[in-house]
Structures are given as structure tokens and as C-alpha cells.
Amino acid sequence: MDDFSDKWREEDGLLLLNGVRGLGPITLRRLLERFRGDPLSLLKASKRDLLQVRGVGKGVVDSIENAVNSDWLKKEKGKIKKHGVDFITNADFPPLLRELYDCPVGLYVLGSLPPGPYVSIVGTRIPSNYGKRMGREIAFDLAQRGFCIVSGMARGIDAEAHLGALDAKGKTIAFLGSGLDVIYPPEHIDLYRKISESGAVLSEFPFGRKADRRTFPMRNRLVSGISNGVVVVESAASGGSLITARLAADQGRMVFALPGRVDQQSASGCNKLIRDGATLIRNANDVIEEIDPTLTEIENSGGTSRMQEILPSQKETVESISGIESKLLKAFREGDHFSLEELCEISRMEVSELSSNLTMLELGGLVSRRADGRFEAI
């Protein structure tokens, strides 16, 4: 590849190779091994030499050559500078991440990557109020104990995990399934900013790369791979959280799961993980005991979280509700959730009357409308 620039540094070569479409981390590592870990020698190599590496076809070789002969690297370095981002390479990775067989050659980092230990918390994008509360409490207590909370900045449990760490004034990092300039979901822009100020937002993908079905599993392997253990808080029988748990097990990481009701769909994934050998947890203390038993136990270890000290009591609200509202509240068992139509049938109220009573219960902090439009008791 004769147009290769002699002014490039090793980091430049890794940055360029990391951005070549169709060149995955495993194939790229094979290429680097072939050239004794030197990306500049790789980029200077002939097509014939590159094609001798297993998994490398003409399409990949052409993509590498096109990248070398384009101004992509110059533009990408300009974006890195513009956004205040660092591109770190393998030598700067935390040890557990570095040992992955499919470890990326580099990561874009906005913020400052905190030291470990790391614990990942993942779960459904449509959690119950119980799931939200537990995810946030566990993250809060772990962060107060010095753990850096890792997640993927998705809706639901991911967001609660990050927020719990931030509430504790602890450290948290988020791995994205897109480039750092493509914030997904877009409504998490404020959370993105807070995470980058408290810890770091990271991605292996170049600027402009949008999230898709391929990038999310790639993101998940880093969420699990950097961590000492992965906590799953509410998950259906299939989905991204279980993929992350499987990846964690394959990587030799500890897998923890918060149990739920056997008749609740959003708990079926966690219950299955426990049945298959994951460690059942009730609180952050259970996680700490497995990862580092030498750490001091959380105060009020009978299951009470420090975060509960900042939550308002509902006692006065419960005592002040009307008889009709009290009757309606009793229809909710722990973990149950109902549509408006189902509640009409259960309570035998008209929609207008039911809506009025639900509004009062919502204002009192006793009932909440979920993201899917269903209602549940808090």
C-alpha cells in the first residue's frame, strides 16, 4: 500500500484499522499477530500477505487500502479533538477487558475512565416500579462502596443503574452501541452528560456510526467483559440482558440475578438464570460478599438500602386516601400491573371515575403508570 504516510504513529494505525468497515476485532487481532502487533507494518503489507491471514478476504483488503488512501484518518482525528474525546488503546484498558479474546484494539472515551472494581447492572427496558427501585438501590449501594457501575445507557434498568451511582456521588461508565456523537436513546442526552462528568462514556465505534442489531451485542460483550460481575435486574425470557449474562458466563465473570414472581413475565429471565446457576441476590451486600468479602457490610444489612433514607415515607399518604381508593389499591398485589380496561373490570367503575381515583393514587405516590401504559402499585 504505497500511499501509506510515514508520519503516522502506531496509535494512528490502530485508529484507522478500528474504523475499517467489515474488519471485526477477532480478524483484526489475527492480522496484528501476523505482523507482530505492529499496525504500521500491517498497513504497509502487500495484498498477498494480508490475504494469507485466516478470515481475510478481498473485500477486507480493499477496505483497508481505501481507508489508507482516503482522508478518513485526518477527519476522524479532527472529530476526536472537536468533541474532547480520547482514543485509548489496549495498554490503557482495565485488566479484565484487556484479556478478552475479542477485545477491541481501541476505545473512544469521553470523560475519565475510573479504576475498578467494576460491576455491571443490566435489565429490561420496560421495568416495573419494583425493578426500577431495586436497580437504582443496588447501584447506589455498590457505588457508595467504591464500585464503578457499568451499563449501556439504554432505557429502563440501564438508566436506573447509572442514576443510582450518580445519586451516590459515585462512579459510573456507559458503553454505547454507536459512535460517541450518536446519543441513543436521544432523550438520554442529559444522562450522557452526567455520566461523562462522573466517569466516562465509551464506544469502540467511530464517529457517525449508528446503533443497529449488530452493534448492540458487540457493546454488551464490553459491558460484561470489563466487570467482576454482572447483575441482571428484571428480564424477560429473551433479550439483550440475557445475552449479556451469557457473555459474562463465557468470559468467566460472576452472574447475579434478582428473583421475581414466577407468574411475572418481566422476571422470567432472572428466574431462569437462577435456575441455571446464577447467584440469587437480594441486595448489594449479596454482590459484595461474592466479589470481595473483605469489604465492610452495608449498614442496616438486613436488606435496608442507604438509598431508602432519601425516599419519602408513604405512611401518611396511605392513611389519608379514600375508601374507594383504598379498595382499588388492594387490587394490586406485589408485582401486578393492569391496563385501564382490566382495572375497570376489576373495580366495576366507569372509566371517568376510575381515572380520577388513579390520578389521586398517582399524586400520592402509591400507583404509577408504566412506559407501556399499564398501572402498578409502587
Architecture of domain 315-377: Orthogonal Bundle (1.10)
Handedness of CA 330, 335, 339, 340 (dihedral sign): positive
> Which of 81-95, 124-138, 288-302 bottoms out in mean pLDDT, i.e. has the lowest?
288-302
Q: How far is CA 87 from the centre of its chain?
A: 20
Question: Could you identify the residue written with the cell 473485500?
Answer: 59
**Does 214 score more than 80 pLDDT?**
yes
Mean pLDDT of 311-333: 57
> Which of 96-100, 318-322, 337-341 bottoms out in mean pLDDT, i.e. has the lowest?
318-322
Residue 241 is placed in which grid cell?
Answer: 440482558
> Which of 144-153, 165-174, 285-294 bottoms out in mean pLDDT, i.e. has the lowest?
285-294
Q: Say which residue, 265 or 165, is predicted with more confidence.
A: 165
Question: Could you identify the residue written with the cell 421475581?
Answer: 260
The pLDDT, as a whole number, for residue 175 is 98
User: What is the overall mean pLDDT for the chain?
Assistant: 86
Mean pLDDT of 338-367: 75
**Does 163 score more than 90 pLDDT?**
yes
The class that CATH gives domain 108-308 is: alpha beta
The pLDDT, as a whole number, for residue 340 is 81
Tens-place pLDDT, residues 16-32: 999 998 899 999 999 99
Tens-place pLDDT, residues 324-335: 666 677 777 545
Handedness of CA 237, 239, 242, 247 (dihedral sign): positive
Architecture of domain 1-74: Orthogonal Bundle (1.10)
Question: Could you identify the residue written with the cell 464517529?
Answer: 207
Interatomic CA distance for residues 145 and 324, integer angstroms = 44
**H or E element: which one contains 280?**
strand 279-280
User: Pairing state of beta strands 229-233 and 106-111?
Assistant: unpaired
Tell me the pLDDT band of 15, cut-offs 50, 70 and 90: very high
pTM beyond cutoff 0.85: no
| Edge-to-edge strand list for the sheet holding 337-338 | 337-338, 375-377, 367-369
User: Pairing state of beta strands 200-203 and 172-175?
Assistant: parallel
Cis peptide before 312 (omega within 30 of 0): no
The pLDDT, as a whole number, for residue 348 is 76
Q: Is 349 helix (H, G, I), strand (E, B) or coil?
A: coil
**Does 299 score more than 50 pLDDT?**
no
Find the DSSP H helices in 276-330: 284-291, 315-320, 323-330
The pLDDT, as a whole number, for residue 221 is 95
Count, residues in the chain: 378
- Cα radius of gyration rounded to whole Å, the chain: 24
The pLDDT, as a whole number, for residue 213 is 84
Query: Are the beta carbons of 123 and 140 closer than 8 angstroms?
Result: no
Tens-place pLDDT, residues 69-91: 899 999 999 999 999 999 999 98
What are the phi and psi torsion angles at 228 (to 5°)? Answer: -75, -30
Nearest CA to 343 among 316, 324, 321? 324
Tens-place pLDDT, residues 168-193: 999 999 999 999 999 999 999 999 99
**Does 296 score more than 60 pLDDT?**
no
Where in the chain is CATH 1.10.150?
Answer: 1-74
Q: Counting beta carbons within 10 angstroms of the beta carbon of residue 11, is it exposed (0 to 12), middle (13 to 18) or buried (19 or more)?
A: middle
> Which of 124-133, 246-255, 319-328 bottoms out in mean pLDDT, i.e. has the lowest?
319-328
**Does 321 score more than 70 pLDDT?**
no
SS3 content of the chain, % helix, strand, coil (to 5): 50, 10, 40
Alpha-carbon distances of 237 from 51, 242, 243, 343, 344, rounded to whole Å: 42, 8, 11, 26, 29
Where in the chain is CATH 1.10.10.10?
Answer: 315-377
Where in the chain is CATH 3.40.50.450?
Answer: 108-308
